[in-house]
Amino acid sequence: MSRPEEAGLRTRGRWPPPEGPRAAIVGSRRPSPYGEAVAEQLGADLARAGVIVISGLALGIDAAAHRGALLGGGVTVAVMGTGVDVVYPASHAQLAEEILAGGGALVSQFPDGTTPRRHNFPARNWTMAALSDVVVVVEAAQGSGALITADAALDLHKEVMAVPGSVFSPLSVGTHGLIRDGAALVQNARDVLAALGATQEVLDDPLSAPQRLGVAALPGRDGIVSHLSDVLAMSAAEISRKLQLPVAEVLGRLTALELDGAVRRHHDGYVRALRKGKKPA
Amino acid sequence: MLGAVDSCTLAGFDVRGVEVQADIGHGDTKFLLVGLAATSVKEARERVRSAIKNSGLEFPGQRLTVNLAPAELRKEGSRLDLPIAVAIALARAGKKPPPHTAFLGELALDGAVRHVDGVLVAALGLRRLGYERVFVPEADAAEAALVECLAVIPCANLKAVVDHLLGVTQIQPFSHGGASAAAEPPATEHDLAEVHGQEEGRRALEIAAAGGHHLLLSGPPGAGKTMLARCLPGILPSLELEEALEVAQVRSLLGELPGHSPLDWTRPFRAPHHGVSMAGLIGGGTGLAQPGEISRAHHGVLFLDELAEFQSPVLQALRQPLESGRVTITRSAGSVSYPARFTLVAATNPCPCGWAGDPIRSCRCTPGGIDSYQRRLSGPLLDRIDLKVAVRRVKLETLASEPTGEGSSAVRERVVAARRRQLDRQDCLNAQLKPARLRKLAGLEPASRRTLERWAEQRGLTARGFHRAWRVARTSADLDGSEQIGEQHILEALGYRLQDVAA
């Protein structure tokens, strides 16, 4: 089946993709650890359920969605704002290769050799909406490009969905606005699948069941982890004040937890590491 | 009639002996000055002529030739005025100067002997060359008197000097107050007791002070990065005599030593503006290079605020001195080398607008903007900084309350003890340990080694990064008074590697 909006696209890899529902996952280029984990999880679960995951190969949510889809063993398509031969950002060259190797495609409405131009990206966002059956927004600050994709989806009469976030985070302003305006709230991949009108079979697939994002707790670490949030980063200084421990010791313990993958360090502090939901047997 | 006295010329800290010969011969009235004299030395002719006349001495009305030997050595500056005038006076009198004696000083037209820069450097050099007595300007006598086993004759004017040499009247040698170590640690302007919160920053500062590690503070505007940096000199031990002399030598060359109390025991703190030029930071200027900010910060702290705003070539030029503790600058007039062993404290915003990662204000930079900003900071310079710490803004309600942290003097005690352990063990600070000595002197317990190796593998540490973390762990252990590097010390050291996060 060839859709009219697919005419004139430059493509690399397998195009058109295999038959099936298509979901775009878009959002901030600088997400919180929470948003990144959600995008990856949704990408993986949707891919496992046979959904083609579409995103824009950008930093942040886009990359997490692509990566998740690849982890889920599915097909993912990157709609690019540059020529299909120009990977932007360049650091995603490896990711682009993996997308192609996974049976996915890179597509673009721009001629080969087009370099990143600010004004090309809104048009790309529109194309992304056109190619998808549903658009899921994960973390978007006010004025985020992901909201352009959502607007385009509305114009094209496609479903728009949004993942809620912390009310303390500026990255939730855009998504909560969408929900307020009537976008469907996404709790897990099942919600997206329902919107896609996926069959009962798919819904009953255990892989698409709600996944609890578990906290990797380790025994014998004095519960420093339990003082950490999984959304807001805390500095070693704050933790040392809270626990009344010397900062040198706290820093050492945090590093040990980091080595074990139980906490993650960001520029501004530490958060609990989110563990991907275990694959049920 | 021939007269000859000794003096010297300086190229940086390098002191070379100069013999000033004056010959009064037959012929037309003429004053010739030969021996590769720079313009500043050629001007001496006019000053010397007037000074001799105005001192009530007779200027030879015949052919006068002054030679500065060795002739292939370029001479600069006005410190040869006095020796030239004395050589002429001795030639007229047919006398020889006392043995092992050297002269330095600029002359005013009325015969007064004026201050010259670098007297301390010259005096130390002359002592090394075997001189036992120096005649220096009165204003600089205290400076020269810092040198052991060197008699200092303070010169007020040319007449007094000549009278002294001809045995008419005697000038009393400058009585040595001598250089003795500071009894009391100097009071510090900035005390850690006034810093709110910032436990991580304080601890990093303590480690930097104890091991001589370079430190990068990253955080939003107003987080207290500058305040922390200014506290560093206050937790460092006072300068040792030898160190104070080196610091004084740099100041002496720049003419910045106060005449009355030339030795200062507090560690220098230099904070050049980010617009500083290469010559200003590293050293330079016309002719022979003058010491720059990095040499003024010798044995002290160099604070570079807004690191990303400095010109890239200027920052790159810091690499050599950061490694070797010295800087060598070559100019057309010759190459000079200055000491520059300082602790670098750099501060930077996390992004161009400064608010990335702030819990309240949101950052308005694009990811690309942040990326290129960080890239400007990355690379070889950051690779040489051992400690990198994020500094967060302190909550306003905390600012109104009394700060509860330790004061500088308590921290300084631990720092002094840790430094003593290092000097006893290895004769240098941990930051200066080469990898071979590090392996020998800073053995890792098996668990510590495993942890370090695991991290290195996980985060793709370079060999340089690996050794940096190891050195910081050594300092952390020294602060604990422990000879063995435990796992805790390695883990703490890895906690100061902010750069492994960004990747």
Chain A residues lying within 8 Å of B451, measured CB to CB? 256, 259
Question: How far does Cα B430 stand from its chain's mean position?
Answer: 20
Domain A214-275 class? mainly alpha
Band of residue B440 on the pLDDT scale cut at 50, 70, 90: confident
**Is A6's pLDDT higher than 50?**
yes
- Name which of A74-78, A147-151, B439-443, B483-487 the model is least confident about: B439-443
- Name which of B78-87, B255-264, B265-274 the model is least confident about: B255-264
Q: Do B357 and A235 touch (CB under 8 A)?
A: no
Structure tokens at B446: 């098996």
B360: Cβ contacts below 8 Å, ≥ 6 apart: none
Q: Residue B241: count other Cβ atoms within 10 Å of its Cβ.
A: 14
**Is B189's pLDDT higher than 80?**
no
Domain A4-208 class? alpha beta
Rounded mean pLDDT of chain A?
Answer: 83
Band of residue A129 on the pLDDT scale cut at 50, 70, 90: very high
For position B184, what pLDDT does the model report?
55
Chain A residues lying within 8 Å of B359, measured CB to CB? 232, 268
Rounded mean pLDDT of chain B?
Answer: 86
Which of A222, A235, A245 to mutate against chain B (most B CBs within 10 Å)?
A: A235
Domain definitions of chain B by residue range: 2-165, 197-428, 433-503
**Is A90's pLDDT higher than 90?**
no
From the CA of A171, how many Å to the nearest CA of chain B?
10
For position A96, what pLDDT does the model report?
94
CATH placement of domain B433-503: 1.10.8
For position B185, what pLDDT does the model report?
55
CB B385 within 8 A of CB B215: yes
- B199 and chain A in contact, CB less than 8 A: yes
d(CA B226, CA B391): 11
- B501 and chain A in contact, CB less than 8 A: yes
Band of residue A69 on the pLDDT scale cut at 50, 70, 90: very high
**Is A188's pLDDT higher than 90?**
no
**Is B378's pLDDT higher than 80?**
no
> Regarding beta strands A10-13 and A105-108, do their DSSP bridges make them parallel or antiparallel, or are they unpaired?
antiparallel
Chain A residues lying within 8 Å of B494, measured CB to CB? 255
Q: Do B501 and A252 touch (CB under 8 A)?
A: no
**Is A262's pLDDT higher than 70?**
yes
**Is B371's pLDDT higher than 90?**
no
Q: Do B359 and A232 touch (CB under 8 A)?
A: yes
Over residues B81-99, mean pLDDT? 90
Chain B residues lying within 8 Å of A252, measured CB to CB? 487-489, 491-492, 495
- B201 and chain A in contact, CB less than 8 A: yes
Residues of chain A whose C-beta is under 8 A from some C-beta in B? 29-30, 59-60, 89, 141, 170, 232-233, 235-237, 240-241, 246-249, 251-256, 259, 265-269
CA angle A262, A264, A270 (to 5 degrees): 110
Peptide bond into B446 cis (omega under 30): no
Q: Do B367 and A29 touch (CB under 8 A)?
A: yes
For position A266, what pLDDT does the model report?
76
Question: Using CB atoms, which residue from A30, A89, A248 is nearest to B492?
Answer: A248
Chain A residues lying within 8 Å of B498, measured CB to CB? 267
Band of residue B186 on the pLDDT scale cut at 50, 70, 90: low
d(CA B86, CA B82): 6
CB A267 within 8 A of CB B501: yes
- Kindly report, residue by residue over A170-180, the tens digit of the pLDDT: 899 999 999 99
For position A207, what pLDDT does the model report?
41
Chain A residues lying within 8 Å of B392, measured CB to CB? 235, 237, 268-269
From the CA of A73, how many Å to the nearest CA of chain B?
25
Closest residue of chain A to B390, computed from CA coordinates: A268
Point out which residues pair with A24 in neighbouring strands: A54, A135
Q: Do B501 and A236 touch (CB under 8 A)?
A: no
- Kindly report, residue by residue over B389-438, the tens digit of the pLDDT: 988 887 766 666 777 778 888 999 999 999 999 999 999 999 988 888 88
- Name which of A37-51, A186-200, A242-256, B12-26 the model is least confident about: A186-200
For position A277, what pLDDT does the model report?
40
> Which tops the pLDDT comparison, A281 or B18?
B18
Scan for tokens 């990711």, then name that residue: A95
pTM of this structure: 0.72
**Is A219's pLDDT higher than 50?**
no
CB A44 within 8 A of CB A276: yes
Over residues B332-360, mean pLDDT? 83
Q: Do A267 and B489 touch (CB under 8 A)?
A: no
Question: Using CB atoms, which residue from B199, B358, B496 is nearest to A240?
Answer: B199
For position A231, what pLDDT does the model report?
62
For position B501, what pLDDT does the model report?
58
From the CA of B198, how many Å to the nearest CA of chain A?
6
What angle in degrees, to the nearest 10, is found between the helix axes of A33-48 and A61-71? Answer: 40
- Kindly report, residue by residue over B32-76, the tens digit of the pLDDT: 888 887 777 788 888 999 999 999 888 888 888 999 988 888 888
- Kindly report, residue by residue over B137-183, the tens digit of the pLDDT: 998 888 888 888 889 999 999 999 999 998 888 888 887 655 554 54
A209: Cβ contacts below 8 Å, ≥ 6 apart: A188, A190, A280
Point out which residues pair with B334 in neighbouring strands: B331
- B403 and chain A in contact, CB less than 8 A: no
Band of residue A61 on the pLDDT scale cut at 50, 70, 90: very high
3-state secondary structure of B295: helix
B28: Cβ contacts below 8 Å, ≥ 6 apart: B63
Which of B491, B496, B501 to mutate against chain A (most A CBs within 10 Å)?
A: B491
d(CA B384, CA B403): 33
**Is A139's pLDDT higher than 50?**
yes
Within chain A, all domains assigned CATH 3.40.50.450 are found at 4-208
Closest residue of chain B to A259, computed from CA coordinates: B455
Band of residue B214 on the pLDDT scale cut at 50, 70, 90: very high
- B489 and chain A in contact, CB less than 8 A: yes
Helices (H), B327-483: 367-377, 396-400, 408-426, 435-441, 446-459, 463-479
Band of residue B187 on the pLDDT scale cut at 50, 70, 90: low
Within chain A, all domains assigned CATH 1.10.10.10 are found at 214-275
d(CA B7, CA B133): 11
- Kindly report, residue by residue over B311-337, the tens digit of the pLDDT: 888 888 898 898 888 998 888 777 888
Which of B492, B494, B501 to mutate against chain A (most A CBs within 10 Å)?
A: B492
Domain B2-165: give its CATH architecture.
2-Layer Sandwich (3.30)
CATH placement of domain B197-428: 3.40.50.300
For position A201, what pLDDT does the model report?
46
Q: Do B199 and A247 touch (CB under 8 A)?
A: yes
